[in-house]
Amino acid sequence: MKRTPLAWKNLTHDKRRLVLATAGIAFAVMLMFQQRGFRHALFDSTVEVVQLIDCDLIVFNTNRFTISNEVRFRRDLLDIAASHSSVEATIPLYMENLAARLRVAEGRARPIRVLMWDLNQDLFDDSSGEINKRKADLNKPGTALMDELSREAYGFDLGTQARFPQFGELSRKQVEVIGRFRLGRDFAHDGTLIMSLENLERYFAYRALDPRSVVDYGIIRLRPEADPQMAVTELRQILGNQVQVMAKQEFVDREINFWSRSTPIGVIFNIGMALGFVVGVIICYQILANDIAEHMSEFATLKAMGYSNRYFIGVVIRQAVYLSLFGFIPGLLLSCGLFWFNSSVTGLLMRLSWDRVALIFGLTLVMCVVSGLLALRKLIQTDPASLF
């Protein structure tokens, strides 16, 4: 004998209520996606500049606790690393943050990140080809490429129809922006310029008598046959305590860990996602509790007929699962649109990966099931005789 799908019929008999219930769950799903999205945008955007670098190891000053922190080390230490048998190539990377201030005409000067290296060495995984196409022009003094996701407040036109060159002032000297590339902003940098190493003395002579003698990051590529972990261990012994040597992924994990645990920002977004979860539990609880209350007499009849509490638990949990599915799908679609909008407005990397979608779906499922179990308490504890 075919059993009546009681959970499905209870949930779908009133279409208006089902739509409202779906909207409530979708709202909670959207809240969790947004909080999680901004949290990952913080991490993804911060380490994107490292993720795009084609390298095996990274060398940096031991006292440099985050990417944007300006603590440098002597270049000769990188030259020593280059002599190691496992090392195929080393690239000194120079980075300016505080001293680099950019403006257009009489506009306000704003801090911007500037990346400089020997452009004859390919540093970035330049999938768009913009850097390689502009190498010859970038080697001219006073020229730069600008990240197309940089803030509009700098005053440059970086849209798809933009014309170059465009002129401005960098550290009170004229700079010619000859094109754009794509990187993205983060919570510490509103924009990025790429320049050749020849411009280091022109704009940032303050660094030292020889500005090239102090390096922000040493980029190391190993020979194909080299053991990365052994190379890290040996280079740490050779270079001493002044610098740290890390594998690329280890460096990325270190940076994410800093923002997650050492700053309140990561904690705030975690709290925001927890609040979204709680909001969802409350909304789903109200939906299921009202449904149970309205059908209490029918449930009492079934109880009197001998149906066990296990049966009622199964019915309500199935309703909770259906609700999670109904609410998750529109919540996901709405979040995709908001991610695109947020990324366009802020320049941050708002990415939806499968593992992140799976996490929010799991939380949505748990949220609805917990709500269902809470709503069941009155039904389980009630004597059917008292309901007639």
The pLDDT tens digits for 344-357 are 888 778 888 888 89
Residues 6+ apart with CB under 8 A from 345: none
Instruction: Calculate mean pLDDT across residues 228-241.
Output: 93
Tokens 């949290």 map to which residue? 39
Distance CA 140, CA 202 (A): 12
Beta strands in the chain (DSSP E): 57-61, 73-74, 87-96, 101-103, 110-111, 113-117, 143-147, 166-170, 173-181, 192-196, 214-215, 217-222, 243-247
3-state DSSP assignment of residue 367: helix
- Helix pair 264-294, 15-51: axis angle to 10 deg: 160
The pLDDT tens digits for 57-80 are 999 999 998 888 889 999 999 999
The pLDDT tens digits for 5-34 are 767 777 777 788 888 888 989 999 999 999
- Output the furthest CA–CA distance in the chain (Å, rounded): 93
The mean pLDDT value of the chain amounts to 86
Distance CA 10, CA 226 (A): 64
Distances, alpha carbon 145 to alpha carbons 77, 111, 112, 167, 178, in Å: 29, 16, 12, 12, 6
Distance CA 183, CA 192 (A): 8
Q: pLDDT at residue 384 above 70?
A: no
Q: pLDDT at residue 151 above 60?
A: yes
